[in-house]
Chain A
Amino acid sequence: MEKIDEKELIQMFSDEDQRRKAFSILVKQYSESLYWQIRKMVLCHDDANDVLQNTFLKSWDNLSQFRGESKISTWLFRIAINETYTFLNKERQRNQSNFTDLEDVMIQNLQSDPWFSGDEVALKLQEAIMTLPDKQRLVFNMKYYNDMKYEDISEALGTSVGALKASYHYAVKKVEAFLSLEL
């Protein structure tokens, strides 16, 4: 992959002739990490693919306005999270009209997803994580799966380290309580 530092990439964003090239580099560099963040939230591969596409299309629309006030990764991560929340809210509304619970539907979809190979325990863990509110679930995923530092999560989400620690603590308690009942 072409190695270009962040400053150079930001300069390319503002140049109309080089914007497309810069965008390709951006997609190559960040699509994988963003995919996994989104996937842990929406669970299903097809949904993650849709949200990831929307994330990059939105970032393309706003590329010329990006001035480097934050890191590119942080900026992209925020767009991805917003797109994920938008997707989840839409799905929630759609399921409300059918009198079904989105979380139940997502777990059912995960069971039939060919791109999920977890056993019963893994599925129960996902079910337990799905009982958490969206933001708490996000913090839990970032800490539990990605083992991210609280400082990095704080920068990405714009939440204080203390609040994140408390959020993760409560999330773990809830997941444990769910699993002790179910397993």
Chain B
Amino acid sequence: MERNKMPFIEPGDRTVFKMPKNYFKDFEATLEERLDTLEKEKVSSNGLLQVQTEAKKFKFSMETHRPILYMAAMFVLLLFSISLILNLSSDKTSSSLRLSAEIQTPSAATSVPTAEDYLINSIGTYGITEYYVESEYLK
């Protein structure tokens, strides 16, 4: 056999390699401990993973429902605008109606102007002092 050409170490000879006493017994215990730690870590990371999954789900549902949300927002905005326009126009009509009503039924104070009213109105843009100053100067 080929291995007989190498007489240095017999086949299966493991004597050159040693290991600590009770190594395999200790190895089992060490492995059990490591496995426990890893399992605990896995459980805690699973909890974190669950939270992350929920967040992802929420994000996903937000993304899928985004067009609907936009449409709803637009609808609300539209309703608000319509109501605003309607309010404004109703204000305008009511004020114009009030104005026309005032024109049609003028009050007693405006219908019969006094001499004083006439004088004040005739001054126009002039100030009342300027009027007196001017009239005195002309004299």
Contacts and interface: CB of A to CB of B under 8 A. Distances in A.
A155 B5 CA distance: 27
Contacts of A145: 11-14
Q: How large is the interface on B (under 10, 10 to 19, 20 to 34, 35 or more residues)?
A: 20 to 34
A31 B16 contact: no
Given A122-B9, A145-B13, A117 B30 contact: no
Interface in A127-180: 143-147, 168-169, 172, 175-176, 179
Interface in B13-66: 13-20, 24, 27-28, 30-32, 34-35, 38
Interface stretch (A7-15, A50-58, A82-90): A50-58
A66 interface: no
A92 interface: no
Interface residues of A, number: 36
A4 to B, nearest CB: 16
Interface string A25-67: 0011001100110011000010001001100110010000000
Nearest to A115: B18
A116 interface: yes
A36 B2 CA distance: 22
Given A56-B31, A60-B35, A117 B18 contact: yes
Contacts of A36: 14, 17
Contacts of A144: 3, 6, 11
Contacts of A52: 27
Contacts of A53: 27, 30-31, 34
A125 interface: yes
A168 B19 contact: no
A118 interface: yes
Given A117-B18, A122-B9, A172-B5, A24 B32 contact: yes
12 contacts: A35-B19, A35-B24, A56-B31, A60-B35, A115-B18, A117-B18, A122-B8, A122-B16, A147-B12, A169-B2, A172-B6, A179-B8
Given A27-B28, A28-B28, A168-B2, 4 more contacts: A32-B24, A118-B16, A122-B16, A172-B2
The 3 closest A-B CB pairs, nearest first, are A118-B16, A115-B18, A122-B16
